[in-house]
Structure 1
Amino acid sequence: MIEELASYLAALLVVAGAGFSLIAAIGVLRLPDLYTRLHAASKAGAIGAGLIFLAVAVASLDGAVILRSLLGIIFLLLSTPVSAHLLARAAYRSGEAPTAATTVDDLQ
């Protein structure tokens, strides 16, 4: 009974994670400049991958796999915002200008 419930919950988490990853991919393709694309990839992509890690943890019902999945989620939550910030900062310093739709430039 527990295994069947865990399978259904894991399937729901995988579908949700795939949905967030799809939203991130669409954002990377459709948004106008590097900064908004980076925002879509770092936010929705991290949530999608985190949900898939959580699905692996729920589906496995093994302590070692659950620990590794939780460590993967923590790594994503710590590294994704930092790397997105550093990429955006490097792009700004190299002269990559935001689109005209960006109304506030706090770094100027």
Structure 2
Amino acid sequence: MNLQMVLAQGLVVLGAVLMGVGAVGLIRLPDVYNRTNAVAKASSLGMICLLLGVLIWKPSTLAVFTLIPAILLQLLTSPISGFAIGRAAYRSRAPMIEETHLNELKSDPPR
């Protein structure tokens, strides 16, 4: 087993673990804001690690032209969708847990 395979397998395992942690966070965290944050971060980092692992495992021109745009789109869309879901939850008056000390959207009243 060479270094390329070890690195590829390590990235794939890391990506799967990150996605698993995001799934646990989705179940265990107390409110929609914390859940959205956990899932957006874990899913984007997990997917990027998985895609990089595949790219290292089977490097080819087709893989580069397929996986690099997928990674870039993941970096662009996941944080924006997490923000949009959190904003929609705030506007629909989803309750925050009592431990939340900072509410940066307080000046933006829900419609």
Q: State whether TM-score is above 0.5.
A: yes
1:49 aligns with: 47
Q: Contact 1:60–1:66 at 8 Å: present in 2 too? A: no
Structure 1's unaligned 5+ residue stretches are none
Q: How many Å apart are 1:6 and its aligned residue? A: 2.1
2:109 aligns with: none
1:12 aligns with: 10
- Secondary structure of the residue aligned to 2:89 is helix
Over 2 Å off, 4+ runs: none
> Normalized per residue, which structure has more helix?
1
Structure 2's unaligned 5+ residue stretches are 107-111
CA deviations over 1:27-72 (Å, ceiling 9, x no partner): 1111100000000000111101100000111111211112211111
Q: Distance in 2 between matches of 1:35 and 1:43?
A: 12
Q: Distance in 2 between matches of 1:61 and 1:105?
A: 46
1:26 aligns with: 24
Q: Determine what percentage of the aligned residue pairs are the same residue.
A: 34
Equivalent residue pairs, number: 106
Q: Distance in 2 between matches of 1:63 and 1:8?
A: 21
**Please, what is the CA RMSD of the aligned residues?**
1.3
